């Protein structure tokens, strides 16, 4: 084994607000244990699943990797601390690393082999697909008074197979002896909650039932990736950068489930 990709984490922002110690133990402390174990085993490359939540509430402009980091949830803080562990160990021990900051992961394998299987999903496109197929009740819209174009939160959605390909490209980069890196993994374009719900409705051919609620603690108004560094650094180009394509994949996977 010459490389470790670390995907395991707790990743539900509202849960982290209620259970911060659980999130720090799982996302920070155990990342440290895994990095230590990798070093002891002679592993030279470490790739961490990080998150756009490290940025906090940054406004509507795309956010670059060198933007000041001000996470607003224990989830974001716990993942930022995990990044620091990886970076510090890299400097001290020569571990080559990539901290990959995911934006909102969505969709499913285009061949239908895998997809998000969480029953009580909080990811919007997954939840909208469940609502479209009557596998859950009305879809909750948390917050309609954000300073965005339609009052709902804006996010950058990255299709899961494109995300996978970015990991392989990062591994190839590090195996070639190139410098360690921290990268946004997104498309550089944001969609509001209402726009996503409309896209799923277009694919399924009927409106999605919704219910409006207040904001959730820890949710920024808008988080969209600046992706110039990603495009310039890795041999990676997205294949599924289309909201309705992503929605169709999520619906197909939900029907299969």
Three-state helix/strand/coil letters over 132-154:
HCCCCCCEEEECCCCCCCCCCCE
Nearest to 136 by CA among 160, 114, 118, 111: 118
Residue-level pLDDT at 213? 94
Which is the catalytic residue, given 23, 75, 97, 157?
75
Q: With pLDDT > 90 as the criterion, what percentage of the chain qualifies?
A: 91
pTM > 0.85: yes or no: yes
75 catalytic? Reply is yes
Residue-level pLDDT at 141? 95
Residue-level pLDDT at 36? 98
| CA-to-CA dists, residue 132 to 148, 149, 152, 159, angstroms | 25, 24, 20, 20
Residue-level pLDDT at 183? 98
Residue-level pLDDT at 122? 85
For the chain, state the CA radius of gyration: 18
Residue-level pLDDT at 59? 80
- The answer for residues whose C-beta is within 8 angstroms of residue 56's C-beta and 6 or more apart is 69, 70, 71, 72, 76, 220
> Tokens for 126?
């997954």
Residue-level pLDDT at 131? 93
Q: What is the mean pLDDT of each run of 10 residues along the chain (257 residues)?
A: 96 94 98 98 98 91 94 97 98 98 96 88 91 92 95 96 98 98 97 96 94 90 95 95 96 94
Residue-level pLDDT at 58? 87
Q: Where would I find the beta strands (DSSP E) of 7-44?
A: none
Q: What is the pLDDT of residues 208-247, one digit of tens each?
A: 999 999 998 888 899 999 999 999 999 999 999 999 999 9
Give the C-alpha separation, 233 to 13, whole Å: 30
Residue-level pLDDT at 119? 74
């Amino acid at each position: 084994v010459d490389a470790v990709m670390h995907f395991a984490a707790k990743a539900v922002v509202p849960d982290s607000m209620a259970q911060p110690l659980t999130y720090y133990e799982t996302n920070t402390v155990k990342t440290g244990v895994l990095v230590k174990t990798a070093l002891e085993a002679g592993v030279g490359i470490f790739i961490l699943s990080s998150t756009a939540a490290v940025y906090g509430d940054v406004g509507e402009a795309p956010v670059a990797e060198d933007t000041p980091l001000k996470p607003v949830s224990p989830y974001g803080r716990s993942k930022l601390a995990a990044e620091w562990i990886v970076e510090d160990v890299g400097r001290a021990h020569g571990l080559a690393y990539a901290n990959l900051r995911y934006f909102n992961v969505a969709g499913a394998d285009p061949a239908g082999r895998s997809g998000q299987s969480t029953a009580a999903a909080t990811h919007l496109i997954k939840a909208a697909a469940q609502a479209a197929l009557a596998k859950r009740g009305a879809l909750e819209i948390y917050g309609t008074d954000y300073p965005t174009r339609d009052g709902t939160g804006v996010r950058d959605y990255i299709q899961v197979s494109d995300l996978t390909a970015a990991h392989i490209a990062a591994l190839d980069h590090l195996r070639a002896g190139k410098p360690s890196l921290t990268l946004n993994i997104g498309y550089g374009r944001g969609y509001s909650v209402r726009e996503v719900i409309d896209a799923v409705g277009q694919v399924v051919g009927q409106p999605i039932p919704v219910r409006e609620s207040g904001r959730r603690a820890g949710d920024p108004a808008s988080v969209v990736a600046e992706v110039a560094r990603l495009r310039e650094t890795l041999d990676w180009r997205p294949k599924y950068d289309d909201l309705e394509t992503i929605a169709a994949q999520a619906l197909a996977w939900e029907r299969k489930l």
